[in-house]
Amino acid sequence: NADAGSVVIFEDVTELAAVRRQLKRWRGIGVAASAIAAALLVAIGGREFVWTPAPQTYVAVFAKDDVLPAFYMTFDLARRELTIRPVDAQRQQGKTYQLWIASDQLGPAPQSLGLMDDTLAPTKKVLSQYDQGLLQRATFGVSLEPAGGSPTGLPTSPALHAKLLPVAN
């Protein structure tokens, strides 16, 4: 028995051994609980901070109002390659469709990305000269131009516009 401020003295060796076993068991439980807590912290924290890659595939739909789209574009950002397909676009005698890109980084006027296939087959373009970030934020357009393309270097008719939308992987 102990008084306040005095050292506890065990009456026999059996009592001391029992206390040591209890301390050892509680120490083991404490170490196991700490290990579990650390593992949970790593698992939950790691899940929150894991780098998820940015989408690499995008789409754009060129439509006027709420009608069937005229064109559908897919874009592979990693390769900077676009494929634009006609959906409800019609061939017009003496005319051709021209693809455009517009961005504040490129200046106030849209830039031509070239003519689309006159047979209205899918048209592929590689845009390696443009930065990936610019491409993600740019506005794309399709205009109907005289055969051979715009004579002014700018769209000569109203263009259908679209922005790239990421495709969930």
Q: Indicate the average pLDDT of the chain.
A: 85
Distance CA 151, CA 159 (A): 15
65 vs 143, residue with greater confidence: 143
Tokens of 167: 């495709």
Q: What is the pTM of this model?
A: 0.67
Tens-place pLDDT, residues 116-153: 988 888 999 999 999 999 999 999 999 999 999 999 99
Residue 1 has pLDDT above 60, yes or no: no
C-alpha 46/C-alpha 32 separation (Å) is: 21
Q: Give tens-digit pLDDT for 84-116.
A: 999 998 888 999 999 999 999 999 999 999 999
Report which of 142, 130, 138, 137 is spatially closest to residue 80, judged by C-alpha positions: 130
Phi and psi, residue 59, nearest 5°: -130, 160
